[in-house]
Structure 1
Amino acid sequence: MNFLQFFVWGSWLISLGGYMSTQLGFSGLQIGSVYSTMGIASVFMPGLLGIVADRWINAERVFAVSHFISAGALIAATRVTDFQMFYSLMLVNSLFYMPTLALSNSVCYNVLTRKGYDVVKAFPPIRVWGTVGFIVAMWTVDFMGWTKSTFQLYQAAGAGIFLGCYAFTVPPSPPFLDETRKKSLASSLGLDAFVLFKHRDTALFFIFSLLLGAALQITNAFGGPFLDDFKTTYPDSFGVQHPNLLLSISQISETFFILLIPFFLTRFGIRNVILFSIFAWVLRFALFGLGNPDDKLYLLILSMIIYGMAFDFFNISGSLYVEKVAEPKIRSSAQGVFMIMTNGFGAIVGGYGSGWVVDHFTTEGIRDWPSIWFTFSGYALALAVLFLLVFRDKRIAVR
């Protein structure tokens, strides 16, 4: 289930920007706005469908139906070229796919608990297959030559439909009526955790979560178009011929840096590990600005490797920070707020903001990629300096 869950996402997330740029002729702002639909969906849909699964309908059934609707939207999107219609269909896809990320975890936890497994020990080896699924999907799209084709959407839709059918075969995850019906709607949506904003350092952390969440959308949306623009200068280079294969090094790097997190946390503490993550984003974008897919391919590969630190060190350490500062009674809600700030509002800011930057440095259809990437790198550097100066929470030392 985890393999297919992320196989669906990996089929189009990294390559769709190239398809929209080359085949549909969308501008940078339009491409960014399509990617921002994931942020819009993440603000409220996981909470709403979570309530449905908690109170009325088995989680695996909500999960299945969501995948069916998401797949239908992807199939419909293959048949349109108009921006407004394409945007609307991708918004529907996001509204029903993004909640399945949380629902898949809920189903897994329920099944493992009911079967008597230790979730802490049993779930990580299962979850890693999600990363494997993401990578396999990217490689499939790359080797089949679908990075600029609608077949990437068909692949995602086909996997989603299969996963939806498969979900009906897993052990049931029924609603917990006695516990969840007593919760208020605000509590179910995670709104009670906004009390954390009363503390200065916690409020600052969530603001930085939003601003760093924006960084993730940048290479998701524009990594493909960036490599595709080298097709005139380096048409036979590895990066141009196999963009998804090159970009997938980022996901492979994630699996490595996840293993390093315990060492870094105990040695340097949460605050410094988050700071390392921000500086990693500086290098991630700067190396893109300096590299090319031919004689400077090594710089792009190094950027992909650094991505693992940039992404994992913040997401894992940030989640641990929230765990430490939140009271147990709002633990789940607090984690929900963290996700809303990074994958919700952060994705919206990143989608529209990165699109505006790309359009700003585009003249007569020619993109000035070094200026684009150095602008993003400067943005991350400014965040690093601000974080270093203003965030000094003494409650989060890990030794």
Structure 2
Amino acid sequence: MKARLSVMMFLQFFIWGGWFVTLGTFLANNLGASGGQIGMAFSTQSWGAIIAPFIIGLIADRYFNAERILAVLHLLGAVLLYQLYRAPDFIGFYPYVLAYMVIYMPTLALVNSVAFRQMSDPAQEFSRIRVWGTIGWIVAGLVISFVFAWDAQQSIATGALRNTFLMSAIASLALGLYSFTLPRTAPLKPEAGSGGIKQLLGLDALGLLKDRSYLVFFIASILICIPLAFYYQNANPFLAEIGVTNPTAKMAIGQVSEVLFMLLLPLFIQRFGIKLTLLVGMLAWALRYVLFAYGDNGELVFMLFTGIALHGICYDFFFVSGQIYTDAKAPERFRSSAQGLITLATYGVGMLIGFWVAGQVTDHYAAVGGSHDWRSIWLFPAGFALLIFFCFSVAFKGRKRVAG
């Protein structure tokens, strides 16, 4: 059973990593998209995150087996990914990427539901299965760079990155068919007094915002998504433009780092407390972008690799520790709603703003001929993250320890 669930996780994130990392590079170089248009394409992830609770909470969780919904969504996803492969320009591309992310984002919750329902001790078992999703993302990058070399300068020029959508479509078809073989995961009967749009969107946890420290954390979580969006949207195009070879595979260093720092995170929180953990995560964002701003593809290439490797600290020490902090602050009956609220705020609202800002800044510093003033582009999120860091350090008065 663990092997079957691990295959599910591997394919789930192989599909996403197979096209999302190189999306900005493909749109800029092959569809002639502007920074604003690239921001629109990436923000479809946010629209998917906003709409996902309705699809899962109001439909899937109540009326259908999770594994069957997962199968249908991935089969539809295969068709949409194939349409992305065939899209001739951005106008033809955008409706399909929006439709795809609206149906893909709910599958993130569905694979978790299928996995959790088969476990006797999720706290001990889930991480060993979920890590195969990260491995799937890494393998996708290695395939793009080292097996097919689609992200090499010559290949980008000939439009080879278009094949990433075809590869992901095949993987989505495989996972769609495979999902029909997964264990039956019937919808659970709702508990008395549970359900409703308010709970599904986490709105019944809004009372947490009456706590001053949590309100400061909540606002910081939304704002730090602006630097996060710059990484997702611009890192691969940046590395490709300055001539880094196999940029997609090298960005997988970030996922390896994420796994390692995920293991260290509980020890760090226990030793230093939640406030310092969150501050370290924020500071890592500023440091990462300074490294990107002043690194190059020559003698200073180590600065670029260090910035990529900081992904584990950037993501785990703020976003994952923020989920832990939210769980500790929320009353037991509101914990699921509280997680829904912080997810909606970050991946929904925060990333939506972040991708728009990243697109505008990238366009502002675009040069004639398609090149960019990358130093200025990266210094913007570096300064923004540093400003959030200082404001948070003064305003946040959270407890030193978070109970496990």
TM class by shorter-chain length? over 0.9
Distance 2:203 2:284 in 1: 32
Distance 2:102 2:21 in 1: 19
Is the CA contact (8 Å cut-off) linking 2:265 and 2:317 kept in structure 1?
yes
Between the two proteins, the alignment pairs up a number of residues equal to 387
What residue is the counterpart of 1:203 in the other structure? 215
Equivalent residue in structure 2 for 1:271, among 275, 279, 283:
275
What residue is the counterpart of 2:65 in the other structure? 58
* 1:42 aligns to 2:45 (yes or no): no
Deviation at 1:259, TM superposition (A): 1.4
* 1:154 aligns to 2:166 (yes or no): yes
Distance 1:21 1:119 in 2: 42
Paired residue type of 1:45 = A
Is the CA contact (8 Å cut-off) linking 1:54 and 1:180 kept in structure 2?
no
* 1:386 aligns to 2:387 (yes or no): no
What residue is the counterpart of 1:129 in the other structure? 132
Distance 1:289 1:256 in 2: 25
Is the CA contact (8 Å cut-off) linking 1:274 and 1:314 kept in structure 2?
yes
Distance change (3 Å), C-alpha of 1:189 and 1:47: farther
* 1:343 aligns to 2:347 (yes or no): yes
Q: Once the two structures are superposed, what CA deviation does each residue of 1:278-304 show, in whole Å capped at 9, x if it has no partner?
A: 000001111011111222111111111
Unmatched tracts of structure 2, length 5 or more:
1-7
Is the CA contact (8 Å cut-off) linking 1:321 and 1:396 kept in structure 2?
no
Residues 181-196 of structure 1: matches in 2 within 5 Å? 183-196=195-208
Residues 1-399 of structure 1: matches in 2 within 5 Å? 1-112=8-119, 117-143=120-146, 144-147=148-151, 148=156, 149-179=161-191, 183-231=195-243, 239=244, 241-364=245-368, 365-394=370-399, 397=402
SS class of match (1:111): coil
TM-score, normalization by structure 2: 0.92
SS class of match (1:339): helix
Q: Once the two structures are superposed, what CA deviation does each residue of 1:319-378 show, in whole Å capped at 9, x if it has no partner?
A: 111001111111111111111111111111111110111111113233100111111111
TM-score, normalization by structure 1: 0.93
Deviation at 1:383, TM superposition (A): 0.8
Distance 1:280 1:245 in 2: 22
Paired residue type of 1:215 = P
Distance 1:162 1:349 in 2: 34
Q: Once the two structures are superposed, what CA deviation does each residue of 1:204-231 show, in whole Å capped at 9, x if it has no partner?
A: 2111111122322212111121122224
Q: Once the two structures are superposed, what CA deviation does each residue of 1:218-252 show, in whole Å capped at 9, x if it has no partner?
A: 12111121122224xxxxxxx2x211121111111
Distance 2:399 2:268 in 1: 18
Deviation at 1:182, TM superposition (A): 5.2
Moved more, 355-364 or 73-82: 73-82
Deviation at 1:181, TM superposition (A): 8.7
Paired residue type of 2:99 = V
Q: How many percent of aligned residue pairs carry the same amino acid?
A: 38
Unmatched tracts of structure 1, length 5 or more:
232-238
SS class of match (1:179): coil
